[in-house]
Structure 1
Amino acid sequence: MFKYTRFERARIVGARALQIAMGAPILIDVPEGITPLDAALLEFEKGIIPLTVIRPS
């Protein structure tokens, strides 16, 4: 998996958690009652968050 900075990681997980909170489907199997942030963190750890980071060269 690509090495992200702590700022990129925070932005990716936060954006995905917001998507999940707004009703986007969760891409992994998670237990009932899990928070959107925890679900986003699990997706990030598995490397399946559908977001891309573009760094300026």
Structure 2
Amino acid sequence: MKYGFLKILELEFGIYLKEQETEKIELAEKCIEIYDSVEEFYKATGWKRDNPESANLE
């Protein structure tokens, strides 16, 4: 899990942390919400309603 999360931080956010930087990794984990699906994200955030151009995407 930790390696995959570090890779996500690098690829998606340009944040490079070493496995030894546990405090920073834990802080990053608390700041990121992971959803199981796009629909779950839309429901939790209301984003779909605010961005009708994405409403037709599957």
Q: Normalising by structure 1, what TM-score? A: 0.27
Higher helix share: 2
Higher RCO (C-alpha 8 Å, min separation 6): 1
